[in-house]
Amino acid sequence: MSDFANDYYHGVMKGVICQSSEPVQFVDLPIHHPQSIINAGWILLNSLPYFPENSVFLIVVDPGVGTERAILSARIGNKWIVVPDNGILSPLQGKIDEIYRIPVASNSSHTFHGRDVFSPAVRAIVDGIHPSKLGLPIKAIYTASDNIGPQEESGIVVDIDSFGNIITNITTKPQKSELDISVNGKKYDIRLVDTFSDLEDQNLGVLLGSCNTLELVVNQGSAVQYFNEIKIGDPVILQ
């Protein structure tokens, strides 16, 4: 997972990992919102359960690259996550079984820890080296100020997908079909539907999406056009 878009950086990281003595299969989970800790944490939370045992997640969404922020290797069940300690792990903190801080070599690039620190750590894990051999255990992680995990009624925008659907972390499915929803402090009357097709073309609605949270959607269109400069982290409240 990275916010490198189409730059060559993620290919270089794969090249480092491919030096492993074990065969590697890559799966990309692109982050479309650069430097968004909220978006990266949400995608990790909702992707982790669908990967097989012994998967290793490499996450480089790292606005603090080159600073004193820690680089972590965390185990959840039989899966390892190599990630900056900047809040991405916040929604998973209650599920972490063990966690280690990976040291940064003095000759590492100040702008490309993904190549020089993250990827070698992943390669070592793939080769069967336990992260306890790479760094020291720690007890606490940095917790993001925004609550990325699921919320009942008062949440935030956690993702805006390529279709323009606005995904929130609100888990409550209301019992009535006409809803009052506040987005960035402005109230909207929005119809609750089960599918996109329940809406007329270009009409705005809200439904329970694939992450079991409320999404603002438009049938055959983009929900983003209905809201002024909406972005990740903006508050959404179900009245």
Q: How many CB atoms lie within 10 A of CB 229?
A: 7
pLDDT of residue 84: 98
Q: How many CB atoms lie within 10 A of CB 119?
A: 24
pLDDT at 219 over 90: yes
Q: Do both 18 and 121 map to the same domain?
A: yes
Which contacts (CB < 8 Å, 24+ apart) does range 227-231 have?
Answer: 227/166, 227/183, 227/184, 228/184, 230/157, 230/160, 230/166, 230/183, 230/184, 231/157, 231/160
CA distances from residue 67 to 59, 64, 85, 105, 111 in whole angstroms, order as listed: 17, 6, 11, 13, 10
Average pLDDT over residues 222-228: 91
Q: Do both 106 and 194 map to the same domain?
A: no
Q: Do both 58 and 158 map to the same domain?
A: no
Instruction: List the CATH number of the domain containing 219.
Output: 2.40.30.90
Average pLDDT over residues 33-48: 96
Q: Do both 163 and 62 map to the same domain?
A: no
Q: Pick from 175, 172, 200, 178: which is nearest to 191 by CA?
A: 178
Average pLDDT over residues 11-18: 97
Instruction: List the CATH number of the domain containing 104.
Output: 3.40.50.10790
pLDDT at 67 over 90: yes
Distance from C-alpha of 187 to C-alpha of 196, rounded to nearest angstrom: 22
Instruction: Check residue 93 and report its DSSP letter.
Output: G
Banded pLDDT at 3 (limits 50, 70, 90): very high
Distance from C-alpha of 100 to C-alpha of 17, rounded to nearest angstrom: 19
Q: What is the pLDDT of residues 46-65, one digit of tens each?
A: 999 999 999 999 999 999 99
Q: What is the pLDDT of residues 124-142, one digit of tens each?
A: 999 999 999 999 999 999 9
